[in-house]
Amino acid sequence: MKALSLKQPWAELVLLGKKTIELRRWNTNFRGEFYIHASGNLDEEQIKKYNFSNLPKQALVGKANLVEVKIYKNEEEFLRDKDKHLASDIKWGKYGFILKDVKRINPIKCKGSLNFFEAK
């Protein structure tokens, strides 16, 4: 099954249902179920902001369905969805991967990769 790497705490925020749009700088034609992979790279500033500790990394941590990709045409449109993607600036990406049916799984150690990748 395909997987997509997210830095922590973003993977955890998706699993908690607080982040329902994953931002990317690239588009995809992929739709369907995929693993959420917590990468080995951490966003320490955001981990402190959201008061997390001991988050899993380099592991498959959940599953989600990518149902649609929203293309943000301008900053105003981007900021209207801030409560869904949690970013303050369009520099994070103008492609919003809309996620549904998110489920946490017991972490499975796994190396990540760029873009969607086949989880082994």
Tens of pLDDT, residues 11-64: 999 999 999 999 999 999 999 999 999 999 999 999 999 999 999 999 999 999
Q: What does the radius of gyration of the chain's CA atoms come to, in whole angstroms?
A: 13
pTM: 0.95
Residue ranges of domains in the chain, CATH in brackets = 2-112 (2.30.130.30)
Tens of pLDDT, residues 64-119: 999 999 999 999 999 999 999 999 899 999 999 999 999 999 999 999 999 999 99
Residue 120 is predicted with a pLDDT of: 74
- Residue 86, both tokens: 């949690």
Phi, psi of 32 (to 5 degrees): 130, -170
- Residue 114, both tokens: 């760029």
- Cα separation of 69 and 30, whole Å? 9
